[in-house]
Amino acid sequence: MGTPSDDGKAAPARDPVETQSISTGSDEDVIPKGALDPVYEAKAKVLNRAIQDIGMGWYQWQLFAVVGFGWASDNLWPIVTSLIFTPVNNEFTPHRAPLLTLAQNIGLLAGAVFWGFGCDIFGRKIAFNFTLGLTALWGMVAAGAPNFAAIGIFDCFWSFGVGGNLPVDSAIFLEFLPATHQYLLTILSIDWAIAQVVATLIAWPLLGNLTCAQDEKPCLKQNNMGWRYLLITMGGITLLMFLARFLAFSLYESPKYLMGKGLDEEAVRVVHEVAKRNGKTSSLTIEELKACEPEGYVFQADISTAVKRHLVEQIDTKHIKALFSNFKLGLSTSLISAIWALIGLGFPLYNAFLPFIQANKGVDFGDGSTYLTYRNSLIIAVLGVPGALIGGLLVELPRVGRKGTLALSSALTGVFLYCSTTAKSSESLLGWNCAYNFCSNVMYAVLYGYTPEIFPTPQRGTGNAIAATANRIFGIMAPIIAMFANLETSAPVYTSGALFIAAGVLTLFLPFESRGKAAL
């Protein structure tokens, strides 16, 4: 039954999707009036309802699996850079070793911008498949690097592929995901955590046994082949992920992308194909989409207009202004970008140099062998897996939600970093780092799921781009700071800890809690 309206008449009952989306507030609480193109909004709601009717079926679960490869790659390769940092430094003895991490972050930034915005021109399918392919190619080529400059360039190239995974993959997954299963976006971070385990598990025997000792001078290539074998192995694993996507899974182009290009018939066909793969049927018709168009509506489909519609408008000031068109939305956009920026600086400033810090601390403690260093890295990585799962559970708790989980996990990440500076032995340092990695994985799991939920669909690409750009730019600053800091002291640890705690505090001021709401 409907509920009484202000004039005493019964208001029409809301459909389940709309009811869920406004369970903790109306749409205008997040999306200001006038921010959405009316034709786009009407058609998007029709498509959302059709996806909801199809439900979470075989196609979405297959997509969940292959999208996980993107999450895995996003952590796998930065971890690889971190793991090879010490042996590369020992072999090539560069004047500015953190330049290797700088090259990585430049590649990640370029990849996020190119693939994130570019997929609106050439489609999701190309980016979805070839980001992993490029990463695998350059990763394996990098194994033959003859000097420090070469490995830096190849690191930038493979990171260019890595940088496109999350912007593209999260968009694809959300555009096929029923509102009732949005929590899976948080659960996907388990692939992020597992990737760290896989990288360190493989690195332990390779780098632990085929790497120069920390005090071995000079470090000759024939005694330091472990990092090259690691790159070949990681490149091979990424190649298998690419082949699984390209050959074993048939990805449909996003219906919303097709609709945005004026291909309504194709969008309807894709919805019916997804329903068929799920063993269901869909009642969606082209007439339902056409009914959303006003009389005389003509879609401009020439190339120049398409470029403007799918690229320029993504970064047009109108889209940016829409994210600041009321106080709450502007505050939300500013704070989530600041949180991404702080974490973007804090995480690589510590994590990228973690094996290096462990090795040097190990020497101080009298047990700085490369074997122990990478064994400890594996133990630390394993603790991240339950962190991702627990994050997926905590975000659904009524009194905790996304905000509470993100604030607590971010602050605790910083606290445990501070605690690690009190370590008097390798065992205590290992314990504090395990606690740090557990909390940081909870934090990232929530952050990756929460961020796209608080942006409206037409501005989601712009909002995600702003947050990702802030994260990558500050990530570039991390190795620059490290070049002028003494990595053998606790300075990077103190700085990183403060940044994580600051991010946790800022989270408390975010105006929107998206628990129980459908992504709009």
Q: What is the mean pLDDT of residues 388-406?
A: 82
Is residue 10 exposed (0-12), middle (13-18) or buried (19+ Cβ within 10 Å)? exposed
CA distance 372 to 214: 12
Residue 501 binned pLDDT confidence (cut-offs 50, 70, 90): very high
Most confident of 326-340, 353-367, 405-419: 405-419
Please say if the pLDDT value at position 360 is more than 70.
no
> CB 468: neighbour CB atoms within 10 A?
22
CB 380 within 8 A of CB 434: yes
| Averaged pLDDT score across all residues of the chain | 79
Given a cut of 90, is residue 140 above it in pLDDT? yes
Mean pLDDT of 146-151: 95
Asked whether residue 515 carries a pLDDT value surpassing 70, the answer given is no
> What is the mean predicted confidence (pLDDT) over 110-139?
82
Which CATH architecture group holds 53-254+318-507?
Up-down Bundle (1.20)
Phi, then psi, of 309 in degrees rounded to 5: -65, -40
In this structure, of 21-35, 39-53, 212-226, 425-439, the range with the lowest mean pLDDT score is: 21-35
Nearest CA among 109, 25, 8, 2 for reference residue 332? 25
Contacts of 196 (CB under 8 A, 6+ apart): 75, 76, 79, 381, 384
Which pair of tokens denotes residue 19?
């009811």
pLDDT (0 to 100) of residue 27: 43
Using DSSP's 3-state secondary structure scheme, residue 10 falls into strand
Point out which residues pair with 4 in neighbouring strands: 10
CB 168 within 8 A of CB 252: no
- Two structure tokens written together for 358: 């462990």
Q: Rounded CA gap, 373 and 361, in Å?
A: 10
Counting every residue written for the chain, the total comes to 520
- Quote the tokens at residue 54: 């199809």
Query: Model pTM?
Result: 0.74
Phi then psi dihedrals of residue 7, to 5 deg: -90, 10
- Range from 54-58, 94-98, 144-148, 304-308 carrying the lowest mean pLDDT: 304-308
28-46 pLDDT, tens digit each: 444 445 445 677 778 878 8
**pLDDT value, residue 415:** 94
